[in-house]
Amino acid sequence: MKIDILTLFPEMFEGPFSCSILKRAQESGLLSIRIHNIRDYADNKHHKADDYPFGGGAGLVMMAQPIFDCMDAVLRDGPARRILLSPRGKRLSPELAQELAREERLLLLCGHYEGIDERVMTVIDEEVSIGDYVLTGGELPAMVLTDCLARFIPGVLGSEDSVVEESFSDGRLEYPQYTRPADFRGLRVPEVLLGGNHKKIQEWRSGQSELKTRLTRPDLMEKR
């Protein structure tokens, strides 16, 4: 899968995309991420990509021209599903992430400042939100979306971390996990996990998942 990200702050992506699973996914060719600096496409001499809003008001608005030209350049390589990260979009869910992971190519547009010239919406397919809170820009949401959907690309997770065993896949939270030592400062690992009875262990884990979910996220149980 190919993801092109359009942003005014390309440096923000350096850390999260060059570690751990996202790094490995790119190295193995399962995922290709390209970051594009919108400012590079501004046709004015100071490479200005934002301006005051018509009608007045606080803050700056991202200009249409640099975004259109950046999108044109990126889309010359072929079509992509074009997504704007925005609080007014459809809420990111495991279902949406899985659907997006099946796409050949995505273009993620990150807004900053007070907003984007509304005419950009004519070249956007859909808006996606990562939750009902306001961030300073669409960069973190683009990283969250990329991370979330990468897990659904076949081969990205090692066989040890299975996509089906994790939180939300069946509408329940994960059961508690432990590793060595069995006794840490007097805190003991539940006895059932130390014996080799796999049926008993499965039952315990399932019970814990249910208990935890009922306690902290009863809304998830409703959904099932």
How many angstroms separate the CA atoms of 158 and 74, rounded? 31
**Sole window of 1-9, 131-139, 166-174, 213-221 interacting with ligand 4HQ (rule: CB under 6 A):** 131-139
CA atoms within 13 A on the CB side of 201: 11
- Nearest approach in angstroms of CB 93 to ligand 4HQ is 13
| Alpha helix positions (H), the chain | 14-17, 20-27, 64-75, 94-101, 139-150, 191-194, 198-216, 218-223
| Alpha helix positions (H), 55-164 | 64-75, 94-101, 139-150
**Sole window of 36-44, 67-75, 130-138, 179-187 interacting with ligand 4HQ (rule: CB under 6 A):** 130-138
Give the x-and-dash track for 148-177 against ligand 4HQ (CB under 6 A). Answer: ------------------------------
The reply to whether 131 sits near ligand 4HQ by the rule CB under 6 A is yes
The reply to whether 124 sits near ligand 4HQ by the rule CB under 6 A is no
Contact (Cβ atoms closer than 8 angstroms) between residue 70 and residue 40: yes
**Sole window of 1-9, 10-18, 30-38, 111-119 interacting with ligand 4HQ (rule: CB under 6 A):** 111-119
How many angstroms separate the CA atoms of 213 and 224, rounded? 12
Contact (Cβ atoms closer than 8 angstroms) between residue 152 and residue 98: yes
The reply to whether 134 sits near ligand 4HQ by the rule CB under 6 A is yes
**Sole window of 23-31, 124-132, 165-173, 199-207 interacting with ligand 4HQ (rule: CB under 6 A):** 124-132
Q: Which residues bind ligand 4HQ (CB under 6 A)?
A: 85-87, 111-112, 115, 129-131, 133-135, 137-138, 141
